[in-house]
Structure 1
Amino acid sequence: MSGGDDAAPLLVAGEWERAGEPFAACAAGDGPVVGHTFHALPEQLDRATTGAVRAFDGTRRSASYERGELLRRAAELIAADVEGLARTLAAEIGKPINDARLEVRRTATTFRMAGEEAERIGGEMLPLDLLPSARGRWGITRHLPIGPVAAITPFNVPLSLSAHKLAPALAAGCTVVLKPDSRAALTLLRLAGLLVEAGVPAGALSMLPMSTSVGDRMVTDDRFRMVSFTGSARAGWDIRSRAGTKKVTLELGGNAPVIVDETADVAHAVARTVAGGFKYAGQLCISVQRAFVHRAVWDEFVGGLVKGAEALTVGAPLDENTQVGPMISVAAADRIRSWVDEAVSGGARLLTGGAGDGAYVAPAVLEQVPATARVAAEEAFGPVVVVSPFDDVDAAFAAADATPYGLQAGYFTRDLHRTWRAFEALEFGAVIINDVPTFRVDNMPFGGVKSSGLGREGIRWTIADMSEQRLLVLAPEAD
């Protein structure tokens, strides 16, 4: 392919450029070509970075009402383009169309909330007269934007995850260069067009699909003051090791557990686990991967989970009836099938699913899985739930915690005392009571511990991360 008028241009420091290394964007599952765009060249990244530095001189001085109005205009434009964005998203990454529409609406909400938060950024005034020598002195604090931000996002929730970097950056007064996953490039370039239409200052935003070798330059370029990364644990911690003195936030992988005790509403737990385990073919860092179930409700829960998995409609992403679409590639589906086969060879029992052609994998439920099997011990990132029984809830807490990951955990119970025990015992960024770890709304702090990340996302928390506190000390004139 060669670049042409049909190829989506890159946004480079406020200019649209049909240049770079051309590539074809293919549908999920190694499907047909859905469009064309470019991978940015090193010189385009350099111009984008220079543009971000120059634009920051203006954005840092912008008024909060200007930033708020910009973000609200962006939210309105995104909301008006739900169908266009959703269909591009579904075609590129294989997300079922109804889930894609929901992601677009969430993206609009994120920009709207960022507009509100932009007008709440403040400081405080505090007395400093704690010593005789400090008599009459006062301190005033302000939160000032940190500077140009390098942002990197994955394929699986590309609009929402990018919004959680772009919107807070613009709210804080920062500039940003975003490297989207190339598998979602067309979707993010469409979003960039809406942000330009909303009035993002020239240079304040660049949208650059890039090869890894070119994108790595952002990590070590000291013109950026912060790197915000969402993706795999391996890549994230490598970025942190090479980022130098920059601030780094990481939202990484998971191996999310859910616990169902004998007091739980089992029907509710089943319904939510079906949704939380198999949504977007399990390709979420907070998908339910492990379910620990009290023996007293084991038969009811596992039977319901199997029936629920089998009732899901697996099909093409743009089919209105599809609930589970393809995985992102045939290679990803082959990996899941091989992990299921490996577990069965090691003594596990496959209760349903696990088969499929090409990029499609039928939602799978396994029991009696060895703890060392990859489908239980590593992040599966596919439509697989491993179920295990327990008799003692503290043992279940320990088993759920026996992972290097710590993003979110779910616990179904009616026991308030156990709720607090779970909150203290489970080493995760969030403990979700009577829902699955897949639960997330956009005004909550979101992030992990252990290998799952560093820092928290969520509009207010990200704005704080993208800001630096500055103190002004006022001393009285000498008597």
Structure 2
Amino acid sequence: MEGNMKKNIWINGQDVETENYSDLLSPYSQEKIADIAIANKLQTQNAIQVAYDSKEVMAKMPAHQRAAILEKVSQLLEENLEEAAKVISLESAKPLIFAKAEVIRTIETYKFASEEAKRIHGETIPFDAAVGGVGKIGYTIRNPIGVIGAITPFNFPMNLVAHKVGPAIAAGNTVVLKPASQTPLSAFFIADLFKKAGLPDGVLNVVTGPGRVVGDAIVESDLVSMVTFTGSSSVGIALRAKAGLKKTTLELGSNAALIIDEDIDVTKAIDRCLMGAFSNQGQVCISLQRIYVHEKIYDEFVSQFAKSASELKLGDPLDPETYVSSLISSNDLDRALSWIEEAKAQGATIATGGKTVGNILEPTVILDVTNNMKVSCNEVFAPIVSICKVSSVEEAIDAVNDSRYGLQAGIYTNSVVNALKAADDLHVGGVVINDVPTFRVDQMPYGGVKESGTGREGLKYAIEEMTEMKLVIWHKG
């Protein structure tokens, strides 16, 4: 892909030029990849109007047809897997091994969306259970909500688009999509596949530009019925305040934690913990950030984990051997380094990492962390993990819950009692037993509590959020 590629916004199935364009640079090499359109407010409103004007077409489209379009997108993506993975790697610096894994998941996500499109249904209500209901029958149906504004992040630029566009189209809605500024190419790639798959023009519109222009226009528009957003808690909270009575699904930040009980074979857990902490440079909402290890095996765990972390291969994201590459921006690198320095100044110890190699942050393991250090209490979104010693599972559960976030958490244990205790007492959206909290498959309900957001994604669950229930009552007389 050449640096002179020009990408326009995508409205009504057409490329639309804008007045201004911005340089899209590779986070790894800083080389120019493309010129990306910067939409203004009027163009964004135009995209919303087009989506609004197309909503009857989608609402009337039979389920089998919506399913067939989504199935076709899944097939086309499978045929273009290598190219799609390269696009992700190039614009986000996600190492190729993880970019390929993302494309494989995205193929599945559209496949699940296609299947769920065929099973959107309501229920019958026993009206005669009420004295006044005798002689009446009733049932619910689920109708599409209308125009969905989708705002997606950089860290899974293809699969997190699929988690919004897939269920929206399955449910018979239309979409205005604002992808993250650093990763628009993945979104345009998918829009092109939808066009080839036969999606009517105007149903999916892709508008690039700054959040305060494009994002605000979407959130404030009366023609948009729902906003689905994945990103930081601060932006999500501000977005919800502006959204009025619109429905919102917010997938926000986290500082995911894992408890390691005393009866665990440490060696068996290490590889999963490495993946959980360092895949995609730790830029995952459920990236493993805090590990609470029982004191009996703490030293063994720390030495094995730190040694393995220090051996991960750093480098060019397009090299199939690379495990860790650059963070998404130099600002994020500076922020991560300053948080490491702050932790050191407050008495934390670096077991491994903490330095940069070129513009790559080494996988970093921090010990002696207190829960008020930024590396522990904020979302670090970098290849940094802190390990704390605990004397019991109860102590670990309290430490995990002492957070303003609650997306997912995990526990490794051979004790059924401790596993059930974690499942009951961890205040999070998902508890993973005998694996890392970074586990996700795309059909499961996914979302958090506290500042980790509202609503659930996962195709069936997202479709429930993206439809409105209507009750129909018949009088038999």
Structure 2 matches for 1:189-200, cutoff 5 A? 189-200=188-199
Could you tell me how far apart the structure 2 residues matched to 1:127 and 1:284 are? 45
Q: Which residue of 2 aligns with 1:204?
A: 203
Q: In the alignment, residue 28 of structure 1 is paired with which amino acid?
A: P
Could you tell me how far apart the structure 1 residues matched to 2:19 and 2:236 are? 26
Q: In the alignment, residue 207 of structure 1 is paired with which amino acid?
A: V
* Residue aligned with 1:279, SS: helix
CA contact under 8 A between 1:265 and 1:413: conserved in structure 2? no
Q: Which residue of 1 aligns with 2:179?
A: 180
* Residue aligned with 2:128, SS: coil
Does residue 80 of structure 1 match 2:98?
no
Residue deviations 1:163-207, cap 9 Å, x none? 000000000000000000010012211111111111111111101
Q: Which residue of 2 aligns with 1:70?
A: 69
Q: Which residue of 1 aligns with 2:157?
A: 158
CA contact under 8 A between 2:95 and 2:316: conserved in structure 1? yes
Distance 1:355 1:131, change over 3 A: closer
Could you tell me how far apart the structure 2 residues matched to 1:233 and 1:226 are? 18
Q: Which residue of 2 aligns with 1:412?
A: 412
* Residue aligned with 2:7, SS: coil
CA contact under 8 A between 2:38 and 2:210: conserved in structure 1? yes
* Residue aligned with 1:332, SS: helix
Could you tell me how far apart the structure 1 residues matched to 2:93 and 2:359 are? 10
Q: In the alignment, residue 334 of structure 1 is paired with which amino acid?
A: D
Q: Which residue of 2 aligns with 1:345?
A: 345
Could you tell me how far apart the structure 2 residues matched to 1:250 and 1:134 are? 38
CA contact under 8 A between 2:28 and 2:325: conserved in structure 1? no
Could you tell me how far apart the structure 2 residues matched to 1:354 and 1:441 are? 31
Could you tell me how far apart the structure 2 residues matched to 1:443 and 1:128 are? 33
Q: CA deviation at 1:361?
A: 0.5
Distance 1:137 1:97, change over 3 A: same
Residue deviations 1:381-424, cap 9 Å, x none? 11111111111210110011111000010100011111111011
Worse overlay, 7-16 or 235-244: 7-16
Structure 2 matches for 1:51-450, cutoff 5 A? 51-215=50-214, 216-450=216-450
Q: In the alignment, residue 407 of structure 2 is paired with which amino acid?
A: L
Could you tell me how far apart the structure 2 residues matched to 1:30 and 1:152 are? 27
CA contact under 8 A between 1:295 and 1:391: conserved in structure 2? yes
Runs of 4+ residues over 4 Å off in structure 1: none
Could you tell me how far apart the structure 2 residues matched to 1:353 and 1:306 are? 9
Residue deviations 1:270-325, cap 9 Å, x none? 22111100111111111111100001111221111011101100111001100111
Could you tell me how far apart the structure 2 residues matched to 1:29 and 1:373 are? 28
Q: Sequence identity of aligned pairs in percent?
A: 39
Q: In the alignment, residue 442 of structure 2 is paired with which amino acid?
A: D
Could you tell me how far apart the structure 1 residues matched to 2:359 and 2:19 are? 30
Does residue 462 of structure 1 match 2:467?
no
After TM superposition, the score normalised by the length of structure 2 is 0.97
Q: CA deviation at 1:30?
A: 6.6
Worse overlay, 27-36 or 358-367: 27-36
Q: In the alignment, residue 125 of structure 1 is paired with which amino acid?
A: T
Residue deviations 1:98-148, cap 9 Å, x none? 111111111111011100000011122232012343222111211110110
Residue deviations 1:229-275, cap 9 Å, x none? 00000000110011011000100000111100012232122221111
Q: Which residue of 2 aligns with 1:46?
A: 45
CA contact under 8 A between 1:406 and 1:448: conserved in structure 2? yes
CA contact under 8 A between 1:330 and 1:358: conserved in structure 2? no
* Residue aligned with 2:385, SS: strand
CA contact under 8 A between 1:332 and 1:359: conserved in structure 2? no
Q: In the alignment, residue 119 of structure 1 is paired with which amino acid?
A: K
Could you tell me how far apart the structure 1 residues matched to 2:233 and 2:334 are? 21
Could you tell me how far apart the structure 1 residues matched to 2:217 and 2:279 are? 34
Worse overlay, 187-196 or 4-13: 4-13
Worse overlay, 244-253 or 261-270: 261-270
Q: CA deviation at 1:369?
A: 1.6
Q: CA deviation at 1:330?
A: 1.7
Q: CA deviation at 1:29?
A: 4.2
Q: CA deviation at 1:7?
A: 0.8
How many pairs were matched up?
Answer: 474
Could you tell me how far apart the structure 1 residues matched to 2:93 and 2:131 are? 67
Q: In the alignment, residue 27 of structure 2 is paired with which amino acid?
A: A
Q: CA deviation at 1:344?
A: 1.1
After TM superposition, the score normalised by the length of structure 1 is 0.97
Distance 1:476 1:458, change over 3 A: same
Distance 1:30 1:334, change over 3 A: farther
Could you tell me how far apart the structure 2 residues matched to 1:251 and 1:201 are? 29
CA contact under 8 A between 1:30 and 1:330: conserved in structure 2? no
CA contact under 8 A between 1:137 and 1:476: conserved in structure 2? yes
Q: CA deviation at 1:157?
A: 0.7
Residue deviations 1:310-348, cap 9 Å, x none? 110011100110011111112211211111111111111
Could you tell me how far apart the structure 1 residues matched to 2:342 and 2:299 are? 25
Q: In the alignment, residue 225 of structure 1 is paired with which amino acid?
A: S
Could you tell me how far apart the structure 1 residues matched to 2:134 and 2:372 are? 64
Q: Considering only aligned residues, what root-mean-square deviation do their CA atoms show, in Å?
A: 1.3
Residue deviations 1:44-74, cap 9 Å, x none? 2111111111100110111110111010001
* Residue aligned with 2:56, SS: helix
Q: In the alignment, residue 112 of structure 2 is paired with which amino acid?
A: M
Q: CA deviation at 1:42?
A: 1.9
Q: What runs of 5+ residues in structure 2 fail to find an aligned partner?
A: none
* Residue aligned with 2:356, SS: coil
Does residue 18 of structure 1 match 2:17?
yes
CA contact under 8 A between 1:13 and 1:47: conserved in structure 2? no
* Residue aligned with 1:285, SS: coil
* Residue aligned with 1:119, SS: helix
Q: Which residue of 1 aligns with 2:31?
A: 32
Q: CA deviation at 1:358?
A: 4.5
CA contact under 8 A between 1:29 and 1:358: conserved in structure 2? no
